[in-house]
Amino acid sequence: MISNENLDVRTITMGISLLDCIDSDSTVACQKIYDKITTNAKDLVKVGQQIEAEYGIPIANKRVTVAPISLIAATSQDHDYVKYAKTLDKAAKTLGIDFIGRYSALVQKGYQTGDRTLIASLPEALAETDFVCASVNVGSTRSGINMDVVAQMGQLVGTVGAERLGVQFGIVDLSLAPTAAAGDSVAEVLEEIGVAQVGTHGTTAALAMLNDAVKKGGIMACSHVSGLSGAFIPVSEDAGMIKAVNAGTLNISKLEAMTAVCSVGLDMIAIPGDTPKETISAMIADEAAIGMINNKTTAVRVIPAPGKKVGDTVEFGGLLGYAPVMAVNKAASTAMINRGGLIPAPIHSFKN
């Protein structure tokens, strides 16, 4: 499976709480953050490499995930958080890890002052550092075949890694995350199930069955299954998705329908640069409604491409790949969006 099915562990991740690094003096706080990360994760890369060598299991990334920086930095008087971003970047370089996650995670209910400052700091922070913001995946794979074996491999790597690092073993996330490389396409897995091309009728049902198999296979073989543990459907990172868009069988409306049964929402979709902000807000509202009503995770990661029109291509590079610019509905949603408000929570007592 490793050689023929592109099976690997996408990442081993150490989670580190930074709450004890809080300090009103941001310089002191940043030093505490750097010291804690580089001390706790000093052997992460070495242990990952040892496991790869001993068990013959490729581990694509070694990562650290931390408490959201907006929580830590909000106690200081700083008006931007670039200093904190540079601290995480420095720690990542010291450790030789791929990146530190959750710099951008906004996990509180509501929108706090720290979150506003964080968002305002992102452009400069991204320009001045090399790290990438990411979510945590303890053990993900690019193969959708024999989930029992995949789950057991994740369990083995997580257990051995935690023991050698002297930390508590957390969870295995079995998410199928595609890349642009041959054989790494979730879309092609759906086509193996029987749809001629992703986007045609039956695609949503095939995706639902794939997610069900991933979750059930993991539960049978792991002591701690968590994370999303399902199929991701980004456009730019999946060669099969890109092929379907170019063939005209996959559009944003179908992708939205698929998000009702997959692990994520609209993901890595390039749209024309002149798309009205109200239309993008309406996309977010649609996904919020799907997530709220179905009690699931959703998100919107659409990229307006300045100067690009439908059919053009946008290059992101690296794992993010490239994407064809997709058409959006031309009918306006301005009036609804300008009314403001929120997506109401469902009343669960109707189901009891």
Domain end point (choices 173, 208, 233):
173
Burial 4-42 (b: 16+ CB within 10 A, else e): ebbbbbbbbbbbbebeebbbeebeebbebbbebbeebbe
If asked whether residues 180 and 329 sit together in one domain, one would say yes
If asked whether residues 252 and 220 sit together in one domain, one would say yes
* Least reliable range by pLDDT among 7-11, 64-68, 166-170: 7-11
If asked whether residues 139 and 265 sit together in one domain, one would say no
If asked whether residues 105 and 200 sit together in one domain, one would say no
pLDDT tens readout for residues 133-142: 333 233 333 3
If asked whether residues 256 and 183 sit together in one domain, one would say yes
Domain end point (choices 148, 173, 198):
173
pLDDT tens readout for residues 166-178: 998 888 888 888 8
Best CA proximity match to 170, nearest among 220, 221, 227, 108: 227
If asked whether residues 92 and 160 sit together in one domain, one would say yes
pLDDT at 68 over 80: no
* pLDDT at residue 137, rounded to an integer: 37
Q: For residue 79, what are the domain limits? A: 1-173
If asked whether residues 102 and 209 sit together in one domain, one would say no
pLDDT at 291 over 60: yes
* Least reliable range by pLDDT among 103-107, 126-130, 199-203: 103-107
Question: Number of folded domains in the chain?
Answer: 2
pTM: 0.75
Q: Is the dihedral of CA 189, 192, 193, 195 positive or negative?
A: positive
pLDDT tens readout for residues 228-253: 788 889 999 999 999 999 999 999 99
Domain end point (choices 135, 157, 173):
173
Q: How far apart are CA 245 and CA 321, in angstroms?
A: 15
39 vs 350 pLDDT, higher one: 39
Q: How far apart are CA 102 and CA 134, in angstroms?
A: 6
If asked whether residues 225 and 162 sit together in one domain, one would say no
pLDDT tens readout for residues 185-227: 999 999 999 999 999 999 999 999 998 888 887 777 777 777 7
